[in-house]
Amino acid sequence: MLLLAGQRLSLSTDVALARRALEIADQKLSLIQATDVLAVRRQLAVEIASLDAVPKLDLNGIVLKLSAMANQVNTLPLKGDLDQPEWGRSASETEEPTESGSLQMVGRVLLDDLGKLVRIRKVDQTRAPKLEDAQRFLAYEKLRLQLVAAQLAVLRQRPDLYQDSLKQARAGLSDYFAPDDRVDGFAASLESLMARQLVVDLPDVSGSMILLRQVIEKRTLSE
């Protein structure tokens, strides 16, 4: 059972099964009333406590969150989607000046038109161009694929690929998507996921096995 505990912990990082194996080993050793065996049980207690202190990872929860976010990608607005219509001219601005209109009125109208033209040009210069259909498709698919790649990284417990995928998703969000509450919320979720751990440092549980082997060797030599 001690060998099984070490194998499960080193090969599959299965903390729960490793802990259970140590408990079973301790139960079996409790039937032997000997000082040397008591030392093994003392070490087992230390190792079980160290396994209890290992942070529990909710990898399934991370995968489900990424899957839900991938399904939400198409609901996010792209740059240019939320822009207001261009400045239009009011009915009063399109009316022909009457014969009774003064030169001062004509000058005021020209100045108003010039002011509106300047405003329109400023809006056009600051407004992000609306993406074409092919660009829209690629923007959505690129973001979705990064989320899928992050899911695979979780399943393979590859924190490097996980972080890289989420960073690329975050960059794509800034490059192609409009500043909007939905996009901001999506970005916040990405930041939260980037802070999640995929792996933890596991304790060494080989001490009890070493002690038990020493006990067996001594008893074999003494016989």
Instruction: State the pLDDT at residue 216.
Output: 86
Instruction: Calculate the average pLDDT of the chain.
Output: 80
Distance CA 212, CA 216 (A): 6
Instruction: State the pLDDT at residue 215.
Output: 85
**Residues 141 and 65 both lie in one domain:** yes
CB 40 within 8 A of CB 194: no
Range of the domain at 6: 2-55+201-222
Instruction: State the pLDDT at residue 17.
Output: 87
**Residues 94 and 169 both lie in one domain:** no
Report how many domains make up the chain. 3
Instruction: State the pLDDT at residue 124.
Output: 44
Distance CA 78, CA 90 (A): 30
**Residues 170 and 187 both lie in one domain:** yes
Q: What percent of the chain has pLDDT over 90?
A: 47
**Residues 69 and 149 both lie in one domain:** yes
Residue with tokens 């600051």: 126
Instruction: State the pLDDT at residue 221.
Output: 73
What pTM value is reported for the model? 0.61
**Residues 27 and 121 both lie in one domain:** no
Instruction: State the pLDDT at residue 50.
Output: 93
Q: Where are the alpha helices (DSSP H) in the chain?
A: 2-11, 15-29, 35-52, 59-72, 91-94, 103-126, 133-155, 159-176, 181-194, 207-222
Instruction: State the pLDDT at residue 11.
Output: 43
Instruction: State the pLDDT at residue 112.
Output: 62
**Residues 8 and 40 both lie in one domain:** yes
**Residues 78 and 140 both lie in one domain:** yes
**Residues 35 and 75 both lie in one domain:** no
**Residues 172 and 185 both lie in one domain:** yes
**Residues 121 and 160 both lie in one domain:** no
The one-digit pLDDT tens for each residue of the chain (223 residues) are 555 555 445 545 678 888 898 999 999 999 988 888 899 999 999 999 999 999 888 999 999 999 999 999 999 999 888 764 444 444 444 445 454 455 566 456 555 654 544 444 444 444 545 557 788 899 999 999 999 999 999 999 899 999 999 999 999 999 999 999 999 999 999 999 999 999 888 888 888 888 888 888 887 877 6
Distance CA 56, CA 45 (A): 20
Instruction: State the pLDDT at residue 113.
Output: 52
**Residues 62 and 17 both lie in one domain:** no
